Each structure stands twice: as C-alpha cells, then as structure tokens.
Amino acid sequence: MAEGRIKHFGFSFHGEFEVFKEIIDSYDKWDFCQIQLNYVDTESSPRTPGIKGLKYAHSRGLAVVIMEPLRGGMLTTKPPKEVQEIWDSAEIKRSLAEWGLLWVWNHPEVSVVLSGMSTMEQVIENISIADRSGPNILTLKS
C-alpha cells in the first residue's frame, strides 16, 4: 500500500463470528471484507459470521461485500415454507431472486452484493432489481 500497488486491503471469509471478529480486530487497516449472507444464513455458522458479523465489520469501518446472496441459486427454486408464506401474503409480488437480493440490499451495512448469474436474462433481472434496491426499503407493501 505504501508503494501504491494496493489501494484497498481486505479479506474473504467463510466461518463463524468469533474467528471473523478476531481477524478484524487483529489488524486495524482493513478496508473491506467479503462474507456470505442471505435470508437463510443469518446466524453465525461454519459458513458465515451472519448478520452479527455484518454489523460488526461495518461498526469497525469496513466496507462489506456480500457473496452468495441467493446461495448459489438455491434460493431461486424453493424457499423455506415459512418464507414462502410471508411472500405469498405480501401485496407486491416478486420473483424469488428479487426477494432474496432485496433482502440483502435492505441492510444499510452492505456495500456491494455479488449476485451470481449464468444467463443474460439473469443479468438483466439482477440489474433491474439493483435499480430498485437500497437500505431499509423492503416491505411487504412496496
């Protein structure tokens, strides 16, 4: 960084909150981190530090990049029954991808969302969803 070869210094993480916190606290010059987060993986687990990790990283001034917002596409096929019931009761109808991506972008601590795409149709849909996204805008009525 001192030589100007690296502009931002960060890390990608798969693991539980306590280890994530230890890594963040071990170095005071992190600029960003990348974690998995989606509406299924909200609690700390071997896969993600969860929402607690998202909030902690943000509180320490790190930009937070989210990977796997749709869990590799699994959340676009069949959501958990409890989740589907909530979405079915919503006034506005959305695709499974839209619900999942908007859920992630709804968190003000999120800086960037990496949404995996394998077709041009998915690229177009994800761009359209991103255009309607933002912190604290997701409701069942809008």
Is the pLDDT confidence value at 140 over 80?
A: no
Query: What would the pLDDT profile of 12-67 be if each residue is shown by its tens digit?
Result: 999 999 999 999 999 999 999 999 999 999 999 999 999 999 999 999 999 999 99
Report the pLDDT value the prediction gives residue 51, as an integer from 0 to 100: 98
In order of 10, 34, 36, 56, 136, the CA distances from 133 in angstroms are: 25, 20, 19, 22, 9
From CA 55, how far away is CA 82, in angstroms rounded? 25
Domain 10-131 CATH superfamily: NADP-dependent oxidoreductase domain (3.20.20.100)
Report the pLDDT value the prediction gives residue 27, as an integer from 0 to 100: 94
Q: How many CA atoms lie within 13 A of 13 on its CB side?
A: 28
From CA 86, how far away is CA 77, in angstroms rounded? 16
